[in-house]
Amino acid sequence: MTEGLPETVLVAQQKGGNGKSSVVAAMAVAIARKNRKVLAIDADQQGNLTIDDLGVPADKWDKGKNLAVALQYGPGDGFALEPYRGIRPNLDILMGGPALGMVSTAIASANEPVDMAANLVSALKELCAREQYDIILVDSGHGDKVLLIALLEACRYLVVPTKEDGASLNGVHQLAASYVRAKRYGSLISLIGVVLFDVNPQASVRLPHVFNKVKELLGSEVEPFQATIRSSQAVAVDMRERHLTAQELAKPTEEQRAGLLTAIRNRGKKNATDRLWAKDPGSVAKDYLDLTREVLARLAAERGAAAAAVEADATEVQVQGLNSAVSAAPVSVAGE
C-alpha cells in the first residue's frame, strides 16, 4: 500500500502526555534544518503539534478539516490534501484538530465500508507527487483506536515514546494490541524503536528494567533507542509558550532570535513577564538531536536490509531460471 511514498514514520502511544507531539516537532525541525523536505502530519484531534509545538497561526488553523476529508473520502472530485506550507523552511504540516474526532463516527454510520488507510495513502501519494517530500512524520492521537489502526496500516515505520510509569506502560500494552491487529490486516509497518521520555538522567540503573518491560509488552526484540529525553519542566514550558523546539530555543534562527531578544535578556529575572524559564535548553536539545540521528540511522538500516532482500530475491529468481533452462536443454549422448 505504501509503495511510492517517502519514508513514513508514525510516532504513537495510546496514553497521552508521553511526548508524541514534542518528538515529531523536534525531529521534523531538525531534519528540515538539514535541507530535507519534511511533511508533518498532526493526526490528533487536540491539534497540539499544529498549534502549540509548531505554532500555526489561529486564523490559519483549519481544525483538521482537510485531513479529515482525506481520511473519509480520499483524493478526487476536486479535493486534494493541502498542508500549511512553510511553517519552517523545508517543513509543511497537515493540521490536526477537532474535525478528526468526527471521522470515526461518520465512518461507523456510513452505508458502505470506508478504508481510511487506503484513502490517506492515495491522498498522500497525490500530494507527494506535487511536493516531493523526503520524509513524512506522523503524530497520532491516543484515544481514537479506529484512526490509530488506519495510521498503523498507512505508515511504514513506528516509533513509540513512553514514560516509565505504570499508566504509560499500559498505553504501550494497548498500542501493542493495535500494532498486532494492523499487522494481521496486512500492514507492512515495522517497529524501529522505543524512546523513554521525561526521564531522570541519573536513573541509569532503573532504565534497563524499563526497556526490558517495554520490549516484553511489544513482543519485539528491537533494541530501544539509546537516546532518552530528559525531564525539564522549564524547557517544556518555553517550548509550548514560544512554539519552538528545544533545538530552536538553544540555536534560534536570526528571525527567531529577533522575536526572543527581550525574553533572552530577561532570562533569570524573577519579575520579568516576557522571559525564558530554562537557563540552558541545550541538554534537552541534544537529547532530541541524538534521537533524530538514531531514527535516521535505523531507517537507513531498514533501507539497506530491504535492498539486500530484493537483491537476494532477484538472485534466487535468476538461479531458478538457470536451473529450469538446464533441465529443459536436450541431452546429447556420446556416440549418437
In this predicted model, what pLDDT tens digit does every residue of 63-116 receive, in sequence order? 999 999 999 999 988 899 999 999 999 999 999 999 999 998 888 888 888 999
- What's the rounded mean pLDDT across residues 273-294? 88
Buried b (16+ CB within 10 A) or exposed e, 85-106: eebbebbbbbbbbebbbebbee
- Confidence tier at 213 by pLDDT (50, 70, 90): confident
pTM comes to 0.88
Lowest-confidence pick of 175-189, 224-238, 259-273, 274-288: 259-273
How many residues are present in the chain? 336
Can you give the pLDDT at residue 288? 97
In this predicted model, what pLDDT tens digit does every residue of 222-239 receive, in sequence order? 888 999 999 999 999 999
- Confidence tier at 292 by pLDDT (50, 70, 90): very high
- What's the rounded mean pLDDT across residues 121-126? 97
Can you give the pLDDT at residue 336? 42
CA Rg, the chain, in Å? 23
Greater model confidence, 268 or 241? 241
Can you give the pLDDT at residue 162? 93
Q: What is the torsional sign of CA 88, 153, 101, 217?
A: negative
pLDDT at 312 over 70: no
Lowest-confidence pick of 2-16, 268-282, 308-322: 308-322
What domains can you pick out in the chain, each with its CATH number?
A: 7-232 (3.40.50.300)
- Confidence tier at 330 by pLDDT (50, 70, 90): low
Question: 60 CB contacts (<8 Å, ≥6 apart)?
Answer: 84
- Confidence tier at 267 by pLDDT (50, 70, 90): low
Lowest-confidence pick of 86-90, 181-185, 304-308: 304-308
Can you give the pLDDT at residue 333? 46
**DSSP string of 215-261, one letter each residue:** HHHHT--PPPPS--EE--HHHHHHHHHHT--HHHHHS--HHHHHHHH
- Confidence tier at 277 by pLDDT (50, 70, 90): confident
Question: 290 CB contacts (<8 Å, ≥6 apart)?
Answer: 226, 227
- What's the rounded mean pLDDT across residues 183-200? 92
Can you give the pLDDT at residue 1? 66
Q: Please state, for a pLDDT cut of 70, what percent of the chain lies above it.
A: 87
- What's the rounded mean pLDDT across residues 258-275? 66
| Structure-block grid coordinates of residue 220 | 519485539
**DSSP string of 264-282, one letter each residue:** HHTTT-TT-SS----S-TH
Range list of β-strands (E), the chain: 7-11, 38-43, 84-88, 91-94, 135-140, 157-162, 190-199, 229-230
